[in-house]
Amino acid sequence: MPRWRNWARTVECDPRQIRTPATEEELAALITGAAGDALPLRAVGSGHSYTPLVESTGTILSLDALQGLLDVDSASAQATIRAGSKLKTLGGPLRERGLALQNQGDVDYQSLGGALGTGTHGTGVSLQCLSAHATGFRLILADGSTLDCSPTQSPEVFRAAQVSLGAVGIITRIRMQLRPAYRLRDETRVVKLEDALAALPDLLPRCRHVEIWWFPYADQVGLRTMDETQEPPKDSPFKRFLTEVVLDNWLLFLVAELTRWIPSASRRVSPLVAKQSAAKPYIDHSYRVLATGRFVRAKEMEYAVPAADGPACLLAIRDYVRTHQPPAFFPIEYRYVAADEIPLSPFYRRDSAVLSVHQFAPVNHNPYFAEAEKILLEFGGRPHWGKMHTLTAERLRPMYPEWEAFHAERRRLDPGGKFLSPYLRRLFGETPA
């Protein structure tokens, strides 16, 4: 029996089979062949979600063979992209055609389909999550049929598919609204946490991207800003290696191991590591600046709170850490995402501040995450679907005004719950078939 596990090693399962269809026709045949099977069928891109979205005792369908650009329209700045395409493979080919994704997160291991399915995002007070930039999908439904949808063609299906957790069908093609290729000037300075939060009203309207990295127990944070520039790329391969591989990964791993065995060391080393966050201006193409290599495995919980409440929420977590001193070393990442109209988006009709809480993978995350989650919920937080959280339908339903409409459409498309794993049934409040 094959074994599957996700990138973070937080989920492992023994599916009956793992298949990698090479064509949409082969994928449709596999779905059709499983129509009468009682076991669930789940699709996987890169396995970068921390939650058991893919976990199944039935069939796991890898989309690794369904990658690449299908067509690019430079005039409209749109492209049709296979859903299994990894984000890290798109930047170069799009730039050759004078285009770029409008935004992306700080890691690019995910498949495009997986990133959209979970509401993945970058940072930018005026920038929406990736799903909001999709203008069309091709879906293989539970009966093996193919359906193309867009805002004007089967619009109810399109809205449900924008953030669907893979529960309405398997997306094979995505039409994305892009923009002209651009370069970013990236700079990080170290300041006190209170000063960083006080600077946000000035920085957010004039900087394309703003984010804060706060190491628990440190008074200072890394305040990162990224702005469009016409300046040519200013890249030193050695400097990039030193920053991303040596400092951001190996040094982080060594210090994390130290705090793993000596938890009290977190209070001493966090301020020292925070001071290393400063980085001189760096200029390159957008996809090279926005995403950086992350090799050290960590567990992650993320919530989106109302934008106006973001600073107070971060300070509340800071006060909890100072008072209770949990074994925490990995940083909290603080970002902004603009509102959208997607039924299951964490940013549905609400500009949001996003707090990403991390824990070194070998360390027990439960005490720290449990208390942080309470604070995030007190501030009205909605969880990222691909990051760790403890909520089920009872708590989730009131957070999403179109919750019932989404599930009505999902049930119409998949009446037998073929794409529902046990985890999704608990998440959605569905009884077993």
Amino acid in position 219: D
Please give the mean pLDDT across all residues of the chain: 92
**Using CB atoms within 10 A of its CB, is residue 29 exposed (0-12), middle (13-18) or buried (19+)?**
middle
Helix (H, G, I), strand (E, B), or coil: what is residue 278? Answer: coil
Cβ atoms of 381 and 370 closer than 8 Å? no
pLDDT of residue 412: 97
Instruction: Round to whole Å and give the CA distance between 328 and 346.
Output: 26
pLDDT at 267: 76
| Range with lowest mean pLDDT among 123-137, 280-294, 338-352 | 280-294
Please report, for residues 60, 378, 382, 424, the alpha-carbon distance to residue 34 in angstroms, rounded to integers and kept in the order given.
Answer: 11, 43, 34, 19
Q: Do domains 69-180 and 183-383 have the same CATH topology?
A: no
Angle of helix 266-275 relative to helix 252-261, nearest 10 degrees, comes to 170
Q: What is the spatial distance between Cα 60 and Cα 40, in angstroms, rounded to a whole number?
A: 9
Q: Is the pLDDT of residue 433 over 70?
A: no
Residue 6 pLDDT > 80, yes or no? yes
Report the topology of domain 69-180.
3.30.465
Closest CA to 416 of 69, 35, 97, 70: 35
Q: What is the torsional sign of CA 155, 156, 162, 165?
A: negative
More confident residue, 259 or 419: 419
pLDDT at 279: 73
pLDDT digits (tens, 9 = 90+) for 164-205: 999 999 999 999 999 999 999 999 999 999 999 999 999 999
With bands split at pLDDT 50, 70 and 90, how would you rate the model's confidence at 246?
A: low
pLDDT at 323: 94
Give the residue extent of every domain in the chain: 69-180, 183-383
Position 363 scores a pLDDT of: 87
- Percent of the chain at pLDDT above 70? 95
Alpha helix (H) ranges present in 126-251?
155-162, 193-206, 237-240
Model confidence over 40-71: pLDDT tens digits?
999 999 999 999 999 999 999 999 999 999 99
Task: Indicate whether 240 pLDDT > 70.
Answer: no
Q: Which pLDDT score, from 0 to 100, does residue 208 have?
A: 97
183-383 is classed CATH 3.40.462.10: yes
Q: Which of 8-17, 34-43, 50-59 has the lowest mean pLDDT?
A: 34-43
Determine which of 80-84, 153-157, 295-299 has the lowest per-residue pLDDT on average: 295-299
For residue 366, CA distances in Å to 195, 243, 316, 361, 393 come to: 31, 31, 18, 12, 21
The per-residue pLDDT for 29 is 96
Q: Residue for token digits 């824990």?
A: 359
Q: Residue 183 in contact with residue 227, Cβ under 8 Å?
A: no
Instruction: Report, as an integer, the average pLDDT of 233-237.
Output: 72
User: Can you tell me the mean pLDDT for 343-365?
Assistant: 95
Condensed to tens digits (0 to 9), the pLDDT of residues 110-136 reads 999 999 999 999 999 999 999 999 999
Examine the pLDDT at 268 and tell me if it is beyond 80: no
Better-predicted residue by pLDDT, 263 or 215: 215
At 262, which amino acid appears? Answer: I
Nearest to 5 by CA among 35, 59, 47, 67: 47
Residue 37's pLDDT is 80
Question: What is the spatial distance between Cα 7 and Cα 320, in angstroms, rounded to a whole number?
Answer: 30
Confidence at residue 241, expressed as pLDDT on a 0 to 100 scale: 57
**HSE value, Cβ hemisphere, 13 Å, CA-based, for 335:** 26
The one-letter amino acid at 204: L
Percent of all residues in the chain with a pLDDT value above 90, rounded to a whole number: 78
Beta bridge partners of 43: 61
pLDDT band, residue 243 (cuts 50/70/90): low
The C-alpha atoms of residue 303 and residue 108 are separated, in whole angstroms, by: 20
Q: Where residue 273 falls among pLDDT bands split at 50, 70, 90?
A: confident
Q: How far is Cα 412 from Cα 410, in angstroms, rounded to an integer?
A: 5
